[in-house]
Structure 1
Amino acid sequence: MRTNRICQLLALFVLLALMIGIPCTSFADAAPPATTDPAASVPQTWQMLDYLAADYAGAVKHGEVVSTSEYAEMQEFARHTRERVLALPPSAATPVLRQQADVLIALIDAKAAEGDVARQAHLLADSLLQAYPIPTAPSRTPALARGADVYQAQCAACHGASGHGDGPAGVALSPRPIDFTDPSRADQRSALSLYEVITQGVPDTAMASYAGTLSADDRWSLAYYVGTFAYPRAAAQGEQAWHRSEKARGAITSASELARARVASLAEAMDTDQARLVLGYLRAHPQAVHEALAGIPLARARLAGSVAAYRKGATEQARQLALSAYLDGVEPVEAQLDARDTALRSRIETAMGAYRTALSQGGDADAAQAQADGVDGLLAEAQSLLAETAAGPMTTFLGALTILVREGLEALLVVVALLAFLRKAERHDATRYVHAGWVLALVAGAATWAVARYAIAISGASRELTEGLSSLFAAAVLLGVGLWMHQKSIGGRWQSYLKARMATALDRRSAWFVFGLTFISVYREVFETILFYTALWSEDQGLWMLAGLVVGALVLVLVAWLLLRTSRRLPLGLFFSLSSVVIAVLAIVLTGKGVAALQEAGWTGVTIAPVPSIDLLGIYPTWQSLLAQLAVALMLAIGFAVNRWRARAI
């Protein structure tokens, strides 16, 4: 009897489930375990959200349910998405993901507009990928010809030869195959969407998974090929639309961004028809993303994207795009621009830094637009300058010569000061540590060049951080050395110091100090110089660049010889005094350059100051760098005053 009642209850439950439209199989068949593997769960959850964004319009129109079963499925998917999010390993993004999932559920329950639900679903999907990164782009450029072959062999029987969903095998299927030529639905789909469907299949349909049948490269090629069906005009008109639209080039700057791009998202920055042309063209020619964006055009495109993001309230995205505009656009061509107009390059750096700071502080969007327009004007001037004055032999020669002399002079002064001091102290045994330091710095620089050229591309941020931190470290060391040398230059202290040092061997700590200071001072300049030369070398003027390098090296050797010869003739007291002043000035210069580099890397803000830019002295028109230099100058002044007071007190 009890068994019969249990069976009756089970039958009643199944009947109720059928009445409210719960499908027998779906994306949500099995609840995820307490903690799921992101590598397996995130792609499925992302696909579910993408499906929801595209198909919600088939369930609700203008606030009214047009398909009860579809609407119930949308509600189920939204709730199951929240469960999957909470089942992922906890992270700092978990509260945000939970909140976004709750908003999505509330929108669907309220029968919100199709566009609002689609945007929220895509927002949650994008946040999910940021919190739990998975591969979202092909490992190599998709081959559209291969995609066409795969489509005809695997897909045309159901989807039709031209993607209308009318293939001979498809007309008998229920539900019918998707019509890839429907632009309203295609506008909500990305190449990544199509790839995930091909990879995982679609439950409750005849669409099976091809993960075991096709390679990942073939699935990506097929996804890109299928993604062109809805945009037939793109082949003829898309190329012009892509090259003319700075907003599009600012929004799609990498293989990952192209794989995730949708017409619906691009249409927020341009009209829908233009977005269809651009995306249709890029899916047919994915290599165009890398061909079109480089240098100043990339910087201008990222700047335009930054302003658009700021107007939408996405402040952090706007700031990151603004930072990328400099690091990925301006910084790689800094050497070419520096060789033509150093002042313009300096104004661009300062203006872009000030714009980033303004974004971080918030404020009126129109004011940000005006500031960005000023930056864009400088970038346009730079773009015109670089286009009109293509590097000739003499330009390359002078650029290589100027860069080496300018960058090498600071390191040379440190090395010469150390050698002169050791010779004055008759510590010839210690000079080998100085020579070892600068030789190893050159070797390390050559290794950096090899790695940068053949293994990895050193990012602008990494370069600026390396320059900035090493400059500040060297400035701190030189600050101490300058105060110490000044102390020995007064009251005859240098005489007793030299007598003590000549009587004992150089200890291990002092030896490593001399080596470390030499290495850091030289490597910082070598690092920057090599990356400048890498940029110049791309202009196909290798022999003239090499000639500039050789002449610059000879100039530095001549300067070193003159300084060392002059130092030998100086009285010891005067030598200590002059050396302390030179090293103190170098500490101030490196402080300014270090802060400027950190500003360019986005580590600190930029507030414009009414002073000229003097790169040789490390003076830049920002209050942050000037105040840092003032602080070092005050420490030196106080230290020098204390040294004199102590000398009089003895």
Structure 2
Amino acid sequence: MSSNSYFAFLNTISLTKRHLYAAFMLFFMVLSSFSVSASPEQQTKIKQIAQLAEYVGVDYVAAVGDGKVLDADEYQEMTEFSNVIISQATLLTSNTNEFDIVKTHAQTLHSIISNKGSVEEVRAASSVLRESLLKFMPQLSLPNSLLPIEQTKALFSANCSMCHGPSGKGDGPLAKNLTPEPTNFTNEERATNRSLMGLFDAVSNGIEDTPMVAFTQFNEQQRWSLAFYVGSLAFQSVEQPKNVEQNITASQIVNLNPAQLSVGLNDTQKQYVQWLRGNPEHLFSAKKDPISVTRTQLLAAQQAHAKGNYSQASDLSISAYLDGFELVENNLNAYDENLRKSIEVQLMDLRKTFKEEKDTAIVNEKVTAALAQLAKASNMLNETKLTDSALLSASLVILLREGLEALLVVIALMTVLIKTKRQDALKYVHVGWIAALIAGGLTWAAAQTLIEISGASREVMEGPP
């Protein structure tokens, strides 16, 4: 066992009541952010509307141009899908009329298509409709890792290439006999307006009234791997830009398409978005410094707030603490408790500020102050960071201490049994400590190989020491 792994294991069992309380608070905060609890039937309709809206936004370019129908079949399909969107949106009901905004956006998209509006208008309306649906949709369970790329390619070749072609260009042997024709995943314009969530839904549920069927035989990791793979094909030639700090999360890259993610960004930042879509493994393989995660999420929250996305900014600020700073609280506390408390108070204040404060100047001032304190904490932790050998020695000392305590307990039990002439029960003591060793080893192995705990998930699992 490496020293870092053992320290991580020790950290998972050094738990406090404060963490459990924080988990419950987060749970209620998340609950309060959803004004509608959609039923399973409504969630199905919502997902279908989102999927069709994205499909229309991508394919409309082949149907209409300059106010004229370019392809009658394509335009008929766009009209049909917009009618389905209206029909499904009409069936969404709630006591507080929360779905009215969805119905309004659905009607707007339908009207633009009926009037043969421009591609830009349709895509803008499609994007607005999808964004209005996101808060009603259940949170997708994002993968902790993707399949190795060779396995994903083999999966695609065996199950998708007959229609989409070996390279994903939509030119498979069956393509010409299908209506509509299979998607060309290498088309950059289409890919720029297609989200990974839409691709995952297409793989998982198929697309109604098209030859695209649901691949229900695949497990979730396989479906996600296929979605990330086909979503990367149009951007694999994009080079990674230099000196661009990452502020895009896996959740953002999944829910939003590159066009939405690129709003308000400069050319270099837009290139980074495309590179990330072409190299999604970067989202899963990188082991990030908790302070860097906190900094990244705060900057992303600041950017979302500047665009008026206050709810998203609040969510990102919560992630800044749970997936970042909370992981180094104990370490920092050992060196400067006042600094730890100061940062904790700042992050708490920022969570409220992002949600309630509309003045960007006030937000920017508070973010700058928090970043300065985080830089100080980062320098302190890096300067006082123990070497691997020191960590290993400390881990072994703790292991020795815990082992001696367990040994004393076992010896005490055995002494009592011998004194009371119950030697026949000694075998149960031996079975107990041997089973404990095996269980401990299995628990550690499971924690290392099977479980990937995010900040929010870890909070729910933690309890008193």
Which TM-score applies when normalising by structure 1? 0.49
Does 2:225 align with 1:230?
A: no
Residues 1:462 and 1:233: Cα distance change in structure 2 (over 3 Å)? closer
Q: Distance in 2 between matches of 1:66 and 1:140?
A: 42
Report if aligned partners of 2:62, 2:71 keep a CA contact under 8 Å in 1: yes
Alignment match, 1:77: 81
Q: What do the CA deviations read for 1:518-557 (whole angstroms, capped 9, x no partner)?
A: xxxxxxxx94xx5xxxxxxxxxxxxxxxxxxxxxxxxxxx
Q: What do the CA deviations read for 1:228-251 (whole angstroms, capped 9, x no partner)?
A: 2111225xx44x76xx543xx433
SS in 2 for 1:165: coil
Alignment match, 1:301: 296
SS in 1 for 2:82: helix
Structure 1 residue 103, shift from structure 2 partner: 3.8
**Candidates 321, 330, 349, aligned match of 1:326:** 321
Q: Distance in 2 between matches of 1:145 and 1:55?
A: 30
Structure 1, unpaired ranges of 5+: 1-34, 398-449, 467-525, 531-650
Structure 1 residue 385, shift from structure 2 partner: 2.4
Q: Distance in 2 between matches of 1:51 and 1:264?
A: 14
Alignment match, 2:258: 263
Alignment match, 2:52: 48
Q: Distance in 2 between matches of 1:112 and 1:292?
A: 46
Report if aligned partners of 1:161, 1:167 keep a CA contact under 8 Å in 2: yes
Q: What amino acid sits opposite 2:302 in the alignment?
A: V
Alignment match, 2:440: none
Structure 2, unpaired ranges of 5+: 1-38, 395-442
Residues 1:257 and 1:294: Cα distance change in structure 2 (over 3 Å)? farther
Structure 1 residue 50, shift from structure 2 partner: 1.8
Q: Name the one with the larger helix percent.
A: 1
Structure 1 residue 297, shift from structure 2 partner: 1.0
Report if aligned partners of 1:319, 1:360 keep a CA contact under 8 Å in 2: yes
Structure 1 residue 60, shift from structure 2 partner: 4.0
Q: What amino acid sits opposite 2:159 in the alignment?
A: Q
**Candidates 14, 35, 42, aligned match of 1:38:** 42
Alignment of 1:279-298 (within 5 A): 279-282=277-280, 285=281, 288-289=283-284, 291-298=286-293
Q: Distance in 1 between matches of 2:375 and 2:64?
A: 47
**Candidates 269, 276, 279, aligned match of 1:278:** 276
Q: Distance in 1 between matches of 2:222 and 2:356?
A: 47
Residues 1:223 and 1:357: Cα distance change in structure 2 (over 3 Å)? closer
Q: Distance in 2 between matches of 1:366 and 1:66?
A: 48
Structure 1 residue 209, shift from structure 2 partner: 1.0
Residues 1:170 and 1:97: Cα distance change in structure 2 (over 3 Å)? closer
Q: What amino acid sits opposite 1:276 in the alignment?
A: Q
Does 2:367 align with 1:372?
A: yes
SS in 1 for 2:235: coil
Report if aligned partners of 1:36, 1:87 keep a CA contact under 8 Å in 2: no
Q: Distance in 2 between matches of 1:321 and 1:308?
A: 10
Q: What do the CA deviations read for 1:101-158 (whole angstroms, capped 9, x no partner)?
A: 3343345456555345334423433443432416464476344322211222233233
Report if aligned partners of 1:147, 1:224 keep a CA contact under 8 Å in 2: no
Alignment match, 2:225: 221
Q: What amino acid sits opposite 1:124 in the alignment?
A: L
Q: Distance in 2 between matches of 1:218 and 1:212?
A: 10
Q: Percent same amino acid at aligned positions?
A: 27
C-alpha RMSD of the superposition = 3.9
Structure 1 residue 309, shift from structure 2 partner: 0.8
Q: What do the CA deviations read for 1:265-298 (whole angstroms, capped 9, x no partner)?
A: 221254332211112111xx16x33634451111
Does 2:309 align with 1:310?
A: no
Structure 1 residue 48, shift from structure 2 partner: 1.1
Q: Distance in 1 between matches of 2:182 and 2:454?
A: 47
Residues 1:250 and 1:191: Cα distance change in structure 2 (over 3 Å)? same
Structure 1 residue 460, shift from structure 2 partner: 6.5
Q: Distance in 2 between matches of 1:463 and 1:216?
A: 24
Q: Distance in 1 between matches of 2:453 and 2:160?
A: 40
Larger RCO (CA under 8 A, 6+ residues apart) = 2
Q: Distance in 1 between matches of 2:70 and 2:273?
A: 29
**Candidates 378, 381, 384, aligned match of 2:376:** 381
Q: Distance in 1 between matches of 2:368 and 2:91?
A: 46
Residues 1:390 and 1:121: Cα distance change in structure 2 (over 3 Å)? same
**Candidates 212, 236, 248, aligned match of 1:251:** 248
Alignment match, 1:345: 340
Residues 1:194 and 1:354: Cα distance change in structure 2 (over 3 Å)? closer
Report if aligned partners of 2:205, 2:216 keep a CA contact under 8 Å in 1: no
Alignment match, 2:195: 190
Q: What do the CA deviations read for 1:491-518 (whole angstroms, capped 9, x no partner)?
A: xxxxxxxxxxxxxxxxxxxxxxxxxxxx
Report if aligned partners of 1:142, 1:224 keep a CA contact under 8 Å in 2: no
Residues 1:292 and 1:183: Cα distance change in structure 2 (over 3 Å)? farther
Report if aligned partners of 1:165, 1:176 keep a CA contact under 8 Å in 2: yes
Structure 1 residue 213, shift from structure 2 partner: 5.2
SS in 2 for 1:177: coil
Which TM-score applies when normalising by structure 2? 0.67
Report if aligned partners of 1:136, 1:192 keep a CA contact under 8 Å in 2: no
Q: What amino acid sits opposite 1:368 in the alignment?
A: V
Alignment match, 2:172: 167
Residues 1:146 and 1:108: Cα distance change in structure 2 (over 3 Å)? same
SS in 2 for 1:166: coil
